[in-house]
Structure 1
Amino acid sequence: MMGGARPDGPDIVTQALPDVSRETLARLEALVALLVRWQRIKNLVAPSTLDTVWQRHVLDSLQIVRLAPKARRWIDLGSGAGFPGIVVATSLAEADGAAIHLVEANGRKSAFLRTAARELGLPVTVHPARIEDVAGRLEPAFDVVTARALASLPKLLALMQPLMRPHTQALLHKGADFEAEVAEARTGFAFDLVEHESLSDPAARILQIGGIVPLSADRNRS
């Protein structure tokens, strides 16, 4: 818990993000309730994180929407139990043109995502497949690509590259060792980077990335 003072709950979100609408907050409460019910038999998230689900999962996911306020077409890679993708969808449920694609190969997790999208009325498409199999066949030009607790940054850049267009940005959750991951990624890729301090963990960062180019290709053009 941030500062060890506040109990975990919806207030964690509203204090950090005061502009969150009542409608979004209601959908988030319904999502958490659904997660808790499914968790009893499906083990969707680490059990140790349930006591801090609003900070560790909900706030951590929702904060990225403020970094791309005009984005409507999102794709979340390795969605797991829907963090951040299904949480992003709760905030865009009433936005014109919103379309959030969730890629998750695990059967029980993709089933949860479909149920959550249906019950909460979210503009979500679930792809129960491997990322490599989906990235090459999706036609939409996405505004944002997201991933959380999925892979190291070099591997993520390779996975995301087929989905990136000149206007597309990636918003990636990274922990306290993000600097080492960025340094390693720069040995294989050129990319634009803006670091944002996480609202849920001051030691972590949201990496906003665009212009991904493999260095071998970049050198061949020079």
Structure 2
Amino acid sequence: MPVDNDDRARALRLTPVSRETEERLALLVSELARWQNAKNLVSSATLSDVWTRHIADSLQIHALAPEAETWLDLGSGGGFPGLVLGICLAEAGRGHIHLVESNARKCAFLRHAARLTGAPATVHAARIESVIGDFTGKVDVVTARALAPLPILLGWCKDLLRTGTLGLFPKGQYLDAELTEASKYWKIQASTVVSVTDPAARILMIREAEQRADS
């Protein structure tokens, strides 16, 4: 995968980072390219603009909760946003991120890339339903990118949100429809932030979610 320097420059204008963090992120991109053919870590259609589509898109999540120290990323896949968030924590010199991924091949990549980049991360090779209860009351932020519709995410995360965890969920152009559907079953305290990488996308910030009694 050839590096598109224009895409890299654009991404770093949108989400500036230090030189050290840029070097860690470049190492992540390099390893992603090396592993992609064998592991199919991300959609091949997104590789030409990986810095904007994946790196900057993940960096903006950390910017919404820069003081948070303990993070949980569900369905980490190829490491976005989880490994990028971990690299941000490495820059800060504090914090830890837990990456939950059920695909063993992707877990192997996550562990490898975390070691190379110095990201303070623990990879949990498990289904979300089997481990998420272990994090209740123990994480500051939970995130999930391109993983599941909002009603499903809320079902997984309800106990985390109830105990003070902030939910940061990047969503695309159909967020309003997801919110409408979720409101049938949930009372949600939430706000949205427009994505810096795609004006049609938003990041949903959920502070509370309570299941409706009649759902």
Output the TM-score relative to the length of structure 2. 0.93
User: In the alignment, is the contact (CA less than 8 A) between 2:192 and 2:205 conserved in 1?
Assistant: yes
Aligned length: 211
Cα deviation, residue 161, structure 1:
1.4
Cα deviation, residue 140, structure 1:
5.7
User: In the alignment, is the contact (CA less than 8 A) between 1:141 and 1:165 conserved in 2?
Assistant: no
Q: Which one of the candidate residues 162, 168, 172 is aligned to 1:171?
A: 168
1:16 aligns with 2:39: no
Cα deviation, residue 165, structure 1:
4.3
**Alpha-carbon distance in structure 1 between the residues aligned to 2:207 and 2:143:** 12
1:197 aligns with 2:207: no
User: In the alignment, is the contact (CA less than 8 A) between 1:142 and 1:164 conserved in 2?
Assistant: no
Q: Deviations over 1:9-51 (max 9, x none)?
A: 2x12321123x11111111000000000001221111111110
1:53 aligns with 2:56: no
Gap change, CA 1:90 and 1:167, over 3 Å in 2: same
Q: Deviations over 1:147-187 (max 9, x none)?
A: 00100000000011133344311000100011000111111
**Alpha-carbon distance in structure 2 between the residues aligned to 1:15 and 1:95:** 20
**Alpha-carbon distance in structure 2 between the residues aligned to 1:154 and 1:79:** 19
Q: Structure 1 stretch 88-97 or stretch 44-53: which is displaced more? A: 88-97
Matches within 5 A, 1:33-112: 33-112=30-109
User: In the alignment, is the contact (CA less than 8 A) between 2:193 and 2:204 conserved in 1?
Assistant: yes
User: In the alignment, is the contact (CA less than 8 A) between 1:24 and 1:90 conserved in 2?
Assistant: yes
- Read off the aligned partner of 1:45 and give its amino acid letter: V
Q: Deviations over 1:105-137 (max 9, x none)?
A: 001111100001111111100000000001123
Output the TM-score relative to the length of structure 1. 0.90
User: In the alignment, is the contact (CA less than 8 A) between 1:105 and 1:129 conserved in 2?
Assistant: yes
- Read off the aligned partner of 1:8 and give its amino acid letter: D
Gap change, CA 1:35 and 1:182, over 3 Å in 2: same
**Alpha-carbon distance in structure 2 between the residues aligned to 1:146 and 1:187:** 22
User: Which residue in the other structure is 1:7 paired with?
Assistant: 6
User: In the alignment, is the contact (CA less than 8 A) between 2:100 and 2:123 conserved in 1?
Assistant: yes
Q: Give the alignment's Cα RMSD to 1 decimal.
A: 1.7
1:28 aligns with 2:60: no
Cα deviation, residue 139, structure 1:
5.8
The alignment partner of 2:139 has SS state of coil
User: Which residue in the other structure is 1:3 paired with?
Assistant: none
**Alpha-carbon distance in structure 1 between the residues aligned to 2:47 and 2:25:** 14
Which segments of 5 or more consecutive residues in structure 1 lack a partner in the other structure?
1-5
Cα deviation, residue 96, structure 1:
4.5
